[in-house]
Amino acid sequence: KAGVTQTPRYLIKTRGQQVTLSCSPISGHRSVSWYQQTPGQGLQFLFEYFSETQRNKGNFPGRFSGRQFSNSRSEMNVSTLELGDSALYLCASSRTEPSTDTQYFGPGTRLTVL
Amino acid sequence: GDSVTQMEGPVTLSEEAFLTINCTYTATGYPSLFWYVQYPGEGLQLLLKATKADDKGSNKGFEATYRKETTSFHLEKGSVQVSDSAVYFCALSDPGGAGNMLTFGGGTRLMVKP
């Protein structure tokens, strides 16, 4: 069974631009979560989607948004990029409830903002 | 709110040494507990998990026991190998708290020397 895939793997953007990251969950998984990983803040939860609905959201500004499609694929968007948005963005999928089901992580998208 | 505290690294060991990485947590409900491992340039891989008190998770020679009385989930391995060098994250998922998200500790880098 194929794992979680994320595209692109690497991105370089400049301040003020916007970016869209994509995540394809494991087949049959309906929950997709996004996390930001930085050396200073560690791993922080961004949001979680289930059946195209956002069920939970972390403490990030409104510049960070996401959506989920009917095939469970998810995208996250960051508008008006800031230098501090440079991070590894990880996507994770689970069958139903991340609180009880195991979450499987993708390899991440490394975003660099110049 | 929920939180996870794990020992700071790096932890440097010689091959075949015994490993302990401490992890304690604070949660409002009855969380599930996890250890994830991250190898250089990769995403997170689930190492083991435990879903209720006194459960022991184990995988690849690693093990951890869910201790509710001490709110701990320490990771242990009897004999480490060079290939175990990675960053280890303790995490919890709390159905009674924020629900559909993982709360991570800061990570502990393990370096194993031949």
**pLDDT per position as a tens digit, A40-96:** 899 999 999 988 999 889 999 999 999 999 999 999 999 999 999 999 999 999 887
What mean pLDDT value characterizes chain A? 93
The residue that leads in pLDDT, B32 or B18, is B18
Torsions phi, psi of B80, nearest 5?
-80, 155
Give dist(CA B63, CA B56) in Å, integer. 7
User: How would residue A100 be classed by pLDDT, with cut points 50, 70 and 90?
Assistant: low
8 A C-beta contact, residue A103 and residue A92: yes
Give dist(CA B48, CA B57) in Å, integer. 5
Phi-psi region of A4 (alpha: psi -120 to 50; beta: other; left: phi over 0): beta
Which of A:2-21 have CB within 8 Å of B?
4
8 A C-beta contact, residue B105 and residue B6: yes
Which of A:19-78 have CB within 8 Å of B?
31, 33, 35, 42-43, 45, 48, 50, 55-56, 58
User: How would residue A99 be classed by pLDDT, with cut points 50, 70 and 90?
Assistant: low
C-beta atoms of A90 and B43 within 8 A: yes
Q: In sequence order, what DSSP letters do the residues of chain B get, joined into one string? A: --EEEE--S-EEEETT--EEE-EEEE-SS--EEEEEEE-TT--EEEEEEE-STT-EEEETTEEEE-BTTTTB--EEESS--GGG-EEEEEEEE-TTTT-S--EE---EEEEEE-
Residue B76: the pLDDT is 98
Token duo for residue B65: 């026991």
Q: Which residues of A touch B98 (CB under 8 A)?
A: 45, 56
Residue B4 in this model has a pLDDT that exceeds 70: yes
For residue A105, the distance in angstroms to the closest alpha carbon of chain B comes to: 6
C-beta atoms of B43 and A58 within 8 A: no
Residue B28: the pLDDT is 79
Task: Give mean pLDDT, residues B64-83.
Answer: 97
Q: Which residues of B touch A87 (CB under 8 A)?
A: none
User: How would residue A98 be classed by pLDDT, with cut points 50, 70 and 90?
Assistant: low
C-beta atoms of B93 and A100 within 8 A: yes
Strands B19-21 and B75-77: antiparallel
Task: Give mean pLDDT, residues B52-78.
Answer: 96
